[in-house]
Chain A
Amino acid sequence: MSNGANKPAMNIITRSYKHGSIIYFEGDRSDVIYILKAGKVVLTSIKIDTGEELKENIKLGEFFGVKSAIGRYPREETAQTIGDTTVLVVSRADFEKMMIKNVSMVTKMLRVFSNQLRRITNMQREILGQSDGINPASELFKIGEYYFKSGNLQQAKYAFKRYLEHYPGTKFSELALQRINTIDTGGSNTDFSSDDSMENSKENVSSKRAESSVDLTDFSIDDSSDNENINIGSTHAPSKEMDDFFSDGDDGLLDDSGFGTTEQKSFIKQKDITEMFYEAVSLFSQERYKDALAIFQKILNIKTLKNESENKIFEKAHFEIGRCYLKINDFKEAVNYLSTMIKKFPKSDNVKNAFLHIGMAFEMAGRKDKATAYYDKVVSMEPNDSVTKQAQKRLKSIENTGKK
């Protein structure tokens, strides 16, 4: 790609079309670019936010089909001729050669592209809007915390420094300074064996990159700057903020890392119930029913549920356990859990489905009479949904086998 001297000359094809011809359709994949030589071409596309049809006339001498050809994706518009029309067809490689000889054309296109991109990202932002109230300052600090806790001190220091540089005087400024101090004095954390830059990291880093480093001495912290061993677990750390970060869940790192040894030791956070549930669901779908069952059972042992959605998961776990037992042919346990669920959560959305599965358990256990009764029950329940249909299907198949 560095020079094109030994490549064959450009191969430009001239192509003529009658009125109303389609040069390409939306959705076509192709790597050629067109230039309008004579006649008229209209591009028709659909505006993605409104579904409106957009029409654009190509001027003589103008390129079209560029973005999809060089971005290697399907055409986003349909190109049609009006009147007799002649176009030049250029391959992607030849287009590149042409462009490299004409930088001002490229920068012009770049400007157009970047405006389009800006418009799209703005629209995205509008839609996502309120939902992502992310504060870049504290997020940047949190990244420092992540690397700090995982023992990547050099990276942690970078993030803390940038935090102080770009967002001075914000919520975690003091803490960030303390962290940097801790790192500089080697007062923390795990082994960073091969990383000699920790000894005198300030010099090392700044000599490599001209503008990069913030002069740390500029930030004066009066009472703790001469403390050789600022320990995160010590009284220097504002405890409230510490708690925020410690509750993030990576507690495994805490115990032997030199901080938090006194106060935080016994703090072991339960794996999130939602995570557990979906891990189990995932196992179920891989047909690892026993593994799934074990996790669902653990969920039932959780004593404290924090909110409505956790209650829901707790309830669903009963149902899923029933399904697991059904899969491993333990019909008795299946019925047991499913009926417990119905008793405990009579208003649950899953009640009807639970009845269906009880029916299935009986059917699989050879008790067609009981199965039929449960399927009948399901069919009688509103609304008429996919569960109803499944029950009807099962009833029919029992009926059919009965006839044989």
Chain B
Amino acid sequence: MILDDKLFEKFGVEYAPNEIIFCEFEPGNEFYFIQSGKVKIVKIINNTEKTLDILEAGEIFGEMAILEEEPRSASVIAMGNVKLFRFHRDNFETILNGNPQLAYKLLMIFAKRIYDQKRRLMILLLEEPQLKVMDVFNMLAEQDPHLDLQEAVTLKATAQDISSWGGMQLKDVQKVLHNLNQLGKIELFNDKVIVKNIRDFQRVVASKRKNLYS
């Protein structure tokens, strides 16, 4: 999907390699559509720049600005020469009416995001740190439909990732990981965790969640 070049005069912006498009924590009122080139989404975590994602032509970023002005949750940096469309929240409807495919794309992004955020909310609603960590593993396992849950599963995650998904202090996460590791339920690596029996974690969390409601 590529947008009409006529729009470019009005909404087009160009960036040179390594230029910041927007920065984590600055307020945002615009969302962007990539016409050409690549951008990387990064966050500074523990004093290192971590790349969360790389987006290419046809993709959208900064879409949360449609809802309200809020600090950006990550920075976006041009990876080469990049052509973007920048749409301000104020003329959002006009833009969408003229670009049904863009509108539909946003609809898909929002549908996915609602699900992901709901899933995260379910984790946050759990009280015990151990359950939260287990449920983060469950969530990660759900995201990969090709995993065989009967076997040990390898999940790409660091303690830092788990702490941000679970809304927990890093040291609490590490404590739980250490504990699960000692019990032989998981194996820890720098960038991944092997869960020996994810079905077990699913059962534990499901039954606790039931108790939570009653």
Chain A residues within CB distance 8 Å of chain B: 1-2, 29, 48-51, 66-68, 70-73, 76, 96, 99-104, 106-107, 109-110, 113-114, 116-118, 120-121, 123-124, 127-128, 131-132, 136-137, 139-140, 142-143, 146, 150, 152, 154-155, 158-159, 162-163, 166, 195, 197, 205, 208-210, 248-250, 274, 278, 281-282, 284-286, 309, 386
Interface pair A107/B20, CB less than 8 Å apart? no
Interface pair B2/A2, CB less than 8 Å apart? yes
Does B54 make an interface contact (CB < 8 A)? Answer: no
Interface pair B188/A282, CB less than 8 Å apart? yes
Interface pair B23/A158, CB less than 8 Å apart? yes
Interface pair B96/A155, CB less than 8 Å apart? no
Does B52 make an interface contact (CB < 8 A)? Answer: no
Choose among A66, A99, A150, A278 the residue that contacts B100 (Cβ–Cβ < 8 A). Answer: A99
CA separation between A155 and B24, bound complex, in Å? Answer: 12
Does B79 make an interface contact (CB < 8 A)? Answer: no
CA separation between A96 and B213, bound complex, in Å? Answer: 38
CA separation between A105 and B33, bound complex, in Å? Answer: 21
Q: Give the interface SS of chain A, mostly helix, strand, loop or mixed.
A: helix
Does B7 make an interface contact (CB < 8 A)? Answer: no
Choose among B49, B67, B107 the residue that contacts A70 (Cβ–Cβ < 8 A). Answer: B107
Interface pair B178/A281, CB less than 8 Å apart? yes
Does B77 make an interface contact (CB < 8 A)? Answer: yes
Interface pair A154/B103, CB less than 8 Å apart? no
Does B14 make an interface contact (CB < 8 A)? Answer: yes
Contacts of B55 in A (CB 8 A): none
List 15 A-B pairs, Cβ < 8 Å: A2-B2, A51-B214, A66-B111, A73-B115, A101-B100, A110-B96, A123-B121, A139-B71, A143-B24, A152-B18, A154-B18, A155-B20, A208-B15, A209-B13, A285-B186
Interface string of B166-183 (1 = CB under 8 A from A): 010001001001100101
CA separation between A48 and B23, bound complex, in Å? Answer: 33
Given contacts A51-B213, A136-B71, A278-B178, whether A120 and B96 have CB atoms under 8 Å apart is: no
Interface pair B110/A114, CB less than 8 Å apart? yes
Interface pair B118/A120, CB less than 8 Å apart? yes
Choose among A131, A197, A284 the residue that contacts B16 (Cβ–Cβ < 8 A). Answer: A197
CA separation between A166 and B188, bound complex, in Å? Answer: 42
Chain B residues within CB distance 8 Å of chain A: 1-2, 13-16, 18-20, 23-27, 44, 47, 49, 58, 66-68, 71, 75, 77, 93, 96-97, 100-101, 103-104, 106-108, 110-115, 117-118, 120-122, 124-125, 145, 159, 167, 171, 174, 177-178, 181, 183, 186-190, 209-210, 212-214
> Considering the complex of A and B, which 9 residue pairs feature the smallest CB-CB distances, nearest first?
A51-B213, A71-B111, A140-B25, A113-B110, A136-B71, A71-B112, A158-B20, A136-B25, A100-B100
Interface pair A143/B44, CB less than 8 Å apart? yes
| Chain A min CB distance to B137 (Å) | 15
Interface pair B112/A73, CB less than 8 Å apart? yes
CA separation between A243 and B23, bound complex, in Å? Answer: 24
Given contacts A103-B96, A131-B167, A281-B181, whether A70 and B18 have CB atoms under 8 Å apart is: no
| Chain A min CB distance to B109 (Å) | 9
Interface pair B107/A110, CB less than 8 Å apart? yes
Interface pair A110/B113, CB less than 8 Å apart? no
Interface pair A72/B104, CB less than 8 Å apart? no
Contacts of A142 in B (CB 8 A): 44
Q: A99-B104, A113-B110 are in contact. List 20 more A-B contacts (CB 8 A).
A: A2-B101, A51-B209, A51-B214, A70-B108, A71-B111, A99-B103, A103-B96, A106-B107, A110-B96, A114-B67, A117-B110, A139-B71, A142-B44, A143-B44, A155-B18, A205-B19, A208-B13, A208-B16, A248-B47, A249-B47
Interface pair B213/A50, CB less than 8 Å apart? yes
Contacts of B115 in A (CB 8 A): 67-68, 71, 73, 76
| Chain B min CB distance to A162 (Å) | 5
Interface pair B107/A49, CB less than 8 Å apart? no
Among residues of A, the one whose C-beta sits closest to the C-beta of B159 is: A278
Among residues of A, the one whose C-beta sits closest to the C-beta of B58 is: A1
CA separation between A185 and B16, bound complex, in Å? Answer: 21
| Chain A min CB distance to B116 (Å) | 8
Contacts of A71 in B (CB 8 A): 108, 111-112, 114-115
Interface pair B117/A124, CB less than 8 Å apart? yes
Choose among B96, B120, B190, B209 the residue that contacts A282 (Cβ–Cβ < 8 A). Answer: B190
CA separation between A137 and B26, bound complex, in Å? Answer: 8
Among residues of B, the one whose C-beta sits closest to the C-beta of A109 is: B107
Among residues of B, the one whose C-beta sits closest to the C-beta of A138 is: B25
Choose among A51, A99, A195, A309 the residue that contacts B171 (Cβ–Cβ < 8 A). Answer: A309
CA separation between A227 and B49, bound complex, in Å? Answer: 32
Contacts of A73 in B (CB 8 A): 112, 115
- Interface centre among B1, B96, B214, by most chain A C-beta atoms within 10 angstroms, is B96
Among residues of B, the one whose C-beta sits closest to the C-beta of A140 is: B25
Contacts of B25 in A (CB 8 A): 136-137, 139-140, 143
Interface pair A100/B104, CB less than 8 Å apart? yes
| Chain A min CB distance to B179 (Å) | 10
Contacts of A150 in B (CB 8 A): 49
Interface pair A96/B104, CB less than 8 Å apart? yes
Choose among B19, B47, B114, B209 the residue that contacts A120 (Cβ–Cβ < 8 A). Answer: B114
Contacts of A195 in B (CB 8 A): 18
Interface pair B124/A110, CB less than 8 Å apart? no
Interface pair B171/A140, CB less than 8 Å apart? no
CA separation between A140 and B23, bound complex, in Å? Answer: 8
Choose among A67, A152, A197, A249 the residue that contacts B111 (Cβ–Cβ < 8 A). Answer: A67
Interface pair B96/A159, CB less than 8 Å apart? no
| Chain A min CB distance to B2 (Å) | 7
